[in-house]
Amino acid sequence: MPGQGQWLVAPRNQEFEQDIALALGIHPLVAAVLYARGFTTEEQISDFLQPSVDKLISPDMLPDIGPAVERIVEAVHRREPVLVHGDYDADGISSAALLTRFISTLGADVSYYIPHRINDHYGLSSLAVEQAAQSGIKLIIAVDCGVSAIEPIAAARAAGADVIVVDHHEPGPHLPEGAWVIDPKRADSQYPERDLASVGLSFKLASAVCERLGLSQQSLQRAFLDLVALGTIADMVPLVGENRILAAHGLKLLPHTRKVGLRALLEVCQLNSTVTASDVAYRLAPRINAVGRMADATEALELLLTDDEEMAQRRALRLDSINRERQQKQNGIYYEALRQVDEEMDLAHHPVIVLSSPDWHLGVVGIVAAKLLEKYHRPAIVLVEEGDQARGSARSIEGFDIAAALEDCSDILARYGGHARAAGLTIETANLDEFRERINILAAQSISPEDISLQVRIDAEVELYEIDAELAKSLLLLEPCGQANPEPLFLARAVEVLDCQSVGHSNQHLKIFGATDSSPVECIGFGMSREAAWIQRGSPIDICFTPEIDEYQGRQKLQLRLEAVRPATPAPRS
């Protein structure tokens, strides 16, 4: 439906734009985007556009960091065996790779364990704890998991092992007893950045160890910020503050990484001279996540750890093959989920989508939940029925804390955990109907109709003559873009349609040639061919877009990548 949803356009302050452009030597529309996002001083904008490692916060402010560092140093000096226990997604795998490599270089004997998504469930594995006890391991470092692992950590402590937890998930009402828990989301944490990914926290722990041992921070950054960028962007944490600094510097290192396995994966993804946040999010991370969804995530960790060129190439190709299999299964489940929503749900009275089936694959339901959220703009929970239990994933919108909602339903859940926007859960199938009812009652109390309406947030309204190749290149200063720092969006009104056609494979994309006055533009809307049905040649439309440089066969041209289109509407009176 053309014009669906709200287009929320930020007001412009052209005097501010010109002042900042002159002071910092940037394009006025870059200043306009930052003004729309709350940057109101020259210093704020300068710091944002030039993310510096000198601005990183001291890890000493993290809870439990001091005793955790001392315990690692003790293990290194004694040559103790250490177990690094990760998680099966890209953040957990890159975290485990970072700490395994780092502690090994210090001289410790490090082993690793990545749980199997299907066999082990989420979190610190009781089997891993038991095997560690049998092997005489006295130090376990749990990364991207552990903050809610009360029983496994109690078992580890009973077996005589110390436990360090490096986790960014929301803690439950009680922390694991006897463990050092490095989590900025702890109620008693004084650390100013709550939203570091676990790989960022792992880097912070390594940084604190380097500080304790008098080792070079610059060498640490060169060695590991590539992994930090990978896990940070993959986990979709806000790319502002420290996350922006870590990701920006890590992206610069990725094309030159010395890690044989990571280099092989870059080659499989055909990434060479530059790597963007989008490349990580849509090419690298899915291949790492796919093996955790469809097979054994240990393969991905071993790819990031190997120094064997032949093994790296084999593993990278296998991850690529598994990712194609993941895409096929995901698409099948997604279309079945859409059918369930259409035939079995009344969205007007259900702010939360809760779907289940015994025929779905547990490894991909989280992605399906995310796609349902994107399509319907409301929380989505997708579960796989396995006999008398159902397991799955939840994804939520801003303003509805899904982790807190699951806590409120904890009396009918067998397991649950996560954070405000994403979580996992296990429930008795007999409780599914009650769970659907209760989660929707909770959501109805806090979600307004505006919260679940489609909203397009636009940084500035522009005239087409303001849009040129220089702007498209200048907008790269805003990279890396992602959560909390999306790609810039502009609105141009009353663009006359000179030509409109469906293009690409299966004609799924939309190509528009348009103009206002004497300013012609070429627009591409990926996956937007449905809009061609109502767009008429010669008619005016409003377009929401991101300017970019399209390069083909060595030639560059400006194009506008469409986010949304609608029939032309007059600008509101000021």
Whether pLDDT at 2 is above 60: no
Mean pLDDT of 101-116: 96
**Which residues of the chain does CATH 3.10.310.30 include?**
345-446
Tell me, what's the pLDDT at 122? Answer: 75
Whether pLDDT at 283 is above 60: yes
What is the rounded distance in angstroms from the CA atom of residue 117 to the CA atom of residue 94?
Answer: 16
Q: How far is CA 176 from CA 165, 186, 416, in A?
A: 9, 12, 16
Whether pLDDT at 518 is above 80: no
Q: Which residue has the higher pLDDT, 399 or 321?
A: 321
Mean pLDDT of 132-136: 94
191: left (phi over 0), alpha (psi -120 to 50) or beta: beta
Task: Kindly calculate the radius of gyration of the chain based on its CA atoms and give it in whole angstroms.
Answer: 25
CB count in 10 Å sphere of residue 109: 13
Whether pLDDT at 379 is above 70: yes
Among 9-23, 108-122, 151-165, the minimum mean pLDDT is found in: 108-122
Beta-sheet strands, E only, within 347-440: 353-357, 380-386, 389-395, 413-418, 422-428
What is the rounded distance in angstroms from the CA atom of residue 84 to the CA atom of residue 126?
Answer: 14
Identify the residue whose tokens are 């055909």.
270
What is the rounded distance in angstroms from the CA atom of residue 511 to the CA atom of residue 528?
Answer: 9
Tell me, what's the pLDDT at 36? Answer: 97
- The torsion of the CA quartet 309, 315, 317, 319, rounded to 10 degrees, works out to -150
196 neighbors 76 (Cβ within 8 angstroms): no
**Which residues of the chain does CATH 2.40.50.140 include?**
462-567
What is the rounded distance in angstroms from the CA atom of residue 229 to the CA atom of residue 249?
Answer: 8
Tell me, what's the pLDDT at 130? Answer: 94
Whether pLDDT at 251 is above 50: yes
Q: What is the mean pLDDT of the chain?
A: 94
Tell me, what's the pLDDT at 574? Answer: 60
Whether pLDDT at 531 is above 80: yes
| C-alpha count within 13 angstroms, C-beta hemisphere, residue 29 | 25
To the nearest whole percent, how much of the chain has pLDDT over 70? 99
Confidence of residue 4 (pLDDT cuts 50, 70, 90): low
Confidence of residue 1 (pLDDT cuts 50, 70, 90): very low
Cβ neighbors of 530 (< 8 A, separation 6 or more) are: none
What is the rounded distance in angstroms from the CA atom of residue 441 to the CA atom of residue 461?
Answer: 39
For domain 55-317, the CATH class is: alpha beta
Confidence of residue 421 (pLDDT cuts 50, 70, 90): confident
Tell me, what's the pLDDT at 168? Answer: 94
What is the rounded distance in angstroms from the CA atom of residue 14 to the CA atom of residue 31?
Answer: 9
Q: Which residue has the higher pLDDT, 454 or 98?
A: 98
Question: Tens digit of pLDDT for each residue in 19-46?
Answer: 999 999 999 999 999 999 999 999 999 9
Confidence of residue 451 (pLDDT cuts 50, 70, 90): confident
> 286, exposed or middle or buried, with CB in 10 Å at 0-12, 13-18, 19+?
buried
What is the rounded distance in angstroms from the CA atom of residue 56 to the CA atom of residue 45?
Answer: 17
Kindly report whether the peptide bond that precedes residue 480 is cis, defined as omega within 30 degrees of 0: yes
CATH number, span 345-446: 3.10.310.30
What is the rounded distance in angstroms from the CA atom of residue 291 to the CA atom of residue 316?
Answer: 11
Confidence of residue 442 (pLDDT cuts 50, 70, 90): very high
Q: What is the sign, positive or negative, of the torsion defined by CA atoms of 452, 456, 459, 461? A: negative
Mean pLDDT of 450-475: 91
Tell me, what's the pLDDT at 399? Answer: 84
CATH number, span 462-567: 2.40.50.140
Confidence of residue 79 (pLDDT cuts 50, 70, 90): very high
Residue 215 Cα to chain centre, angstroms: 31
Q: What is the DSSP string of 445-472?
A: HH--TTTTS-EEEESEE--GGG--HHHH
Closest Cα to residue 122, out of 432, 409, 406, 443?
406
**Which residues of the chain does CATH 3.90.1640.30 include?**
55-317
What is the rounded distance in angstroms from the CA atom of residue 238 to the CA atom of residue 89?
Answer: 17
